[in-house]
Chains A and B, each alone.
Chain A
Amino acid sequence: GDSVTQMEGPVTLSEEAFLTINCTYTATGYPSLFWYVQYPGEGLQLLLKATKADDKGSNKGFEATYRKETTSFHLEKGSVQVSDSAVYFCALSHSGGGADGLTFGKGTHLIIQP
């Protein structure tokens, strides 16, 4: 079955540091890939997405590129802020009809220190 593997945290960085959170997936066909963010006490918010190979999703300074050859969708940000502290989830969804729903990684807790 489908699966998503992401680096487990917590990941602790200083403000203005470069961020990479690794995400790899196993799936049949051509899934869409997502990064969701969960701030403390809140639900999940879509951060960015990519629906086909070589697509780059970007939002709020975060980027991720859909790499089919390495089955990866790593999240990056050039300069993190304290407000980026949250839990980040990588997820995939299959195209077309049939079974709906997202397959999530276990989440990466990011802590940014001033």
Chain B
Amino acid sequence: NAGVTQTPKFQVLKTGQSMTLQCAQDMNHEYMSWYRQDPGMGLRLIHYSVGAGITDQGEVPNGYNVSRSTTEDFPLRLLSAAPSQTSVYFCASRGGGKTQYFGPGTRLLVL
């Protein structure tokens, strides 16, 4: 049982490049979310999913796309990276309870 896994751990992009941050969970959780963490801002919700095929926007969705084709995976796509997207990204999942389980994070630097 690996919990929530994220890849890559660290990534450097140039402005305008695209990439996908991967997130997977093996706990059969319905709910999955993406957050970004910025200094002095805490964590802010980007997108979330309440089940396969269902996604919705969080607090800061602009510049990010998501899809949920399986229960296990919830990738986050940056279509055209911008320096403002430099951040640490966390994926989380939860089952029927209220506790969310977080992945180890992906540190992204956009030059």
Chain A interface (Cβ within 8 Å of chain B)? 4, 32, 34, 36, 42-46, 49, 51, 89, 93, 95, 97, 99-107
Q: CB < 8 Å: which of A45, A51, A107 contacts B42? A: A107
Q: CB < 8 Å: which of A45, A101, A106 contacts B48? A: A101
16 interchain pairs, CB-CB under 8 A: A34-B99, A42-B104, A49-B98, A49-B99, A51-B98, A89-B42, A89-B43, A97-B50, A99-B56, A100-B94, A101-B33, A102-B35, A102-B43, A102-B92, A102-B100, A104-B42
| A43 in contact with B104 (CB, 8 Å) | yes
Measured between beta carbons, the chain B residues less than 8 angstroms from A45 are 102
Please, how many angstroms separate the alpha-carbon atoms of A32 and B96 in the complex?
Answer: 13
| Interface mask (B35-54 → A, CB under 8 Å = 1, otherwise 0) | 10000111111001010000
- Chain B: residues with Cβ within 8 Å of the partner, total of 24
| A105 in contact with B99 (CB, 8 Å) | no
Specify the chain B residue showing the minimal Cβ separation from A42.
B104
Please, how many angstroms separate the alpha-carbon atoms of A107 and B44 in the complex?
Answer: 12
Measured between beta carbons, the chain B residues less than 8 angstroms from A89 are 42-43
Measured between beta carbons, the chain B residues less than 8 angstroms from A51 are 98
Tell me the smallest distance from the CB of A113 to a CB of chain B, in Å: 23
Measured between beta carbons, the chain B residues less than 8 angstroms from A103 are 45
Tell me the smallest distance from the CB of A98 to a CB of chain B, in Å: 9
Looking at B43, B100, B102, the one whose CB has the most chain A CB atoms below 10 A away is: B43
